[in-house]
Chains A and B, each alone.
Chain A
Amino acid sequence: MPLLEIRNLSVEFATTSGAFRAVDGVDINVEPGDLMAIVGESGSGKSVSMLAVMGLLPWTATITADRMAFNGHDLRGMSPKQRRRIIGRDMSMIFQEPMSSLNPCFTVGFQIKESLKKHTDLDRKGRQDRAIELMNLVGIPAPEKRLNAFPHQLSGGMSQRAMIAMALACEPKLLIADEPTTALDVTIQAQILELLTGLQEETGMALILITHDMGVVAETVKRVQVQYAGQKVEEQEVGALFDDPHHPYTAALLAALPERATERRLPTIPGVVPGQFDRPEGCLFSPRCRFANAHCKAVEPVQAAPEMGLALCHYPLSHGEPTNREKAS
């Protein structure tokens, strides 16, 4: 049984100028102990789809899905109260800006122990011991002292470690890390990623890493899901994805990595992710795709076969060359 199973998830935001579809028919499958990444540029709906799973979207959002189950429980029909018993305990999340994600008015220790108080029956002493244990686990030196520190007394890396400690407090089965290193220095980034993967291995929890950094993906995860403009466009094992990307968007993202550049000028993807008002007909990526033809710009693509990475493309790439061309023309 998959730990997290999502079919055809869509999220729409009611705005003053009409509905905006931020997530558009996304499937996500996470097995227990899985280590996967969701990749895409800003506005591709990666965070929104995970916030929808956590139930953290504002009331302006409308969430629809054919199936949305965590650990066998259907999340859709759940009352907010039932949902609150799961999030923070079996499923927890850390965020992009560690410095602003901790409440400046309370000590780090208080904020960690608050989770324990909510979800476990540990007594005061038990919570203190567990908090110290957690601080040790995430590599914060002098935990007894740091528990009494306020967030503004911690550095960015320390804050993210504290956030991780908080998220791990109740030994979750799934940890969602939403761009956990984006706001941090490069050297600290590596430490935090190492910590996350280490903890994942140690505890056997599943980890979903949301990122826009292909470099992070290559070093960290086993499986990758690529999202574009709210749609899932490709899913592959990390090695295969880097060797042979099937969707032109994935290929373009990989080509833009400095490590893989072959020419003097780094290749870029022209244009931006379509927004509320400039959604193209047909394939959403077609205006920016260098392989797109008239067919792409008129007809919405369907998912390709699993061996083609479930690519959402009329002509999924194979070793850099579009396939299926003959058939269509």
Chain B
Amino acid sequence: MLRFVLSRLLTFVPTFFGVTLVSFAFIRLLPGDPITLLAGERGISQERYDELAAQLGFDQPLWMQYFDYLAGIFQGDLGVSFVTKRPVLDEFMALFPATLELSICAITLAVLIGIPAGVIAAVNRGKFFDQALMTTALIGYSMPIFWWALLLIIVFSSGLGWTPVSGRMSLMFFIEGPTGFMTIDALLSGQEGAFKSAVSHLILPTIVLATIPLAIIARQTRSAMLEVLGEDYVRTARAKGLAPLRVNGFHALRNALIPVVTVIGLSVGTLLAGAILTETIFSWPGIGKWMVDSIFRRDYQAVQGGLLIIAVIVMIVNLTVDILYGAINPKIRNR
């Protein structure tokens, strides 16, 4: 097991360098640069431009800039945002808990509903529940997210007034907590109603963000279960006189989980990279929105730093998924 993890960690090294190079090159391939964008419509004189470029290090050859960037990474320094003048790492870390909180809620919802729904659909294959669920999943999967979000806001926020329209917390509260998770900080702050407010702000974005992963997980669980339900060991489990819940939800599901875990891992990866649409619609101060803003501002340091951290997070998620495979199926563990 340890050897497996170490060998997987080794494959991180080339991926890591690849990501630094790609993120560095990608943002510089876009037309425009931060200085012209900062100057705006009035334009900027050539002397002032050169002065600023020298200040920001743009007068150096590209490979020098790249090695400066790499050297910084190994000292734990991802550079300073041109726009906010704050370290990229600090900016990221300030926004990441919001994204993480939303992602955890969304993936939890998707897993808690998606897996049982898929199992029930597979067990009742071809019957009404199965067809209804698969149709719903298809709709959920193909629906435009911004439209779905707006629909929910219209119905539940403006129409019924059950949930707030946007943001993470009601303006009546000021929460600045140790964890960055609004729900936990609200609880810790001890302010009455703060936790409830945090939760109510989470509901709609969670539903919107969970929709696509939920649809994918339900469909994947169903198809994996259908394959497993025909296996001999499922018949053995039934021949023992075990109840259907135990046979389907334990003996069969455990074997069907491998492809499902893969899908969950991929979803977690994309969710943690920031859900741009959802965060924008709900004014959720997460990294998805921050990344897009940074790209528009040609904030080189922020974009390349942000991309790198996200890539590392996705790699860690993938490694976790690989380790989980072994935990689920011993045959993989011993290979």
Contact = CB atoms under 8 A, between A and B. Distances in A.
A56 B242 contact: no
A102 B255 CA distance: 12
A103 B240 contact: no
Given A150-B331, A152-B331, A103 B239 contact: no
Contacts of B235: 56, 95, 101
Given A95-B235, A102-B236, A103-B233, A85 B328 contact: no
Interface string B306-335: 000000000000000000000011110010
Size category, B interface: 20 to 34
Contact of A103 (B236, B328, B334): B236
A223 interface: no
Interface stretch (A35-43, A113-121, A267-275): A113-121
Size category, A interface: 20 to 34
A308 to B, nearest CB: 36
A92 B330 CA distance: 27
Contacts of B328: 105
Contacts of A81: 243
A212 interface: no
B236 A105 contact: no
A100 interface: yes
B254 interface: yes
Interface in B180-205: none
A105 B242 contact: no
A319 interface: no
Contacts of A103: 233, 236-237, 251, 254-255
Residue in A83, A104, A153 with the greatest tally of chain B CB atoms within 10 Å: A104
A209 interface: no
A85 B334 CA distance: 36
Residue in A89, A101, A153 with the greatest tally of chain B CB atoms within 10 Å: A101
A85 B242 contact: no
Contacts of A115: 240-241
Given A56-B235, A119-B241, 20 more contacts: A83-B241, A84-B243, A88-B239, A95-B235, A97-B232, A100-B231, A101-B235, A101-B236, A102-B236, A103-B233, A103-B237, A104-B233, A104-B329, A104-B330, A105-B251, A115-B241, A118-B241, A150-B334, A163-B236, A166-B240
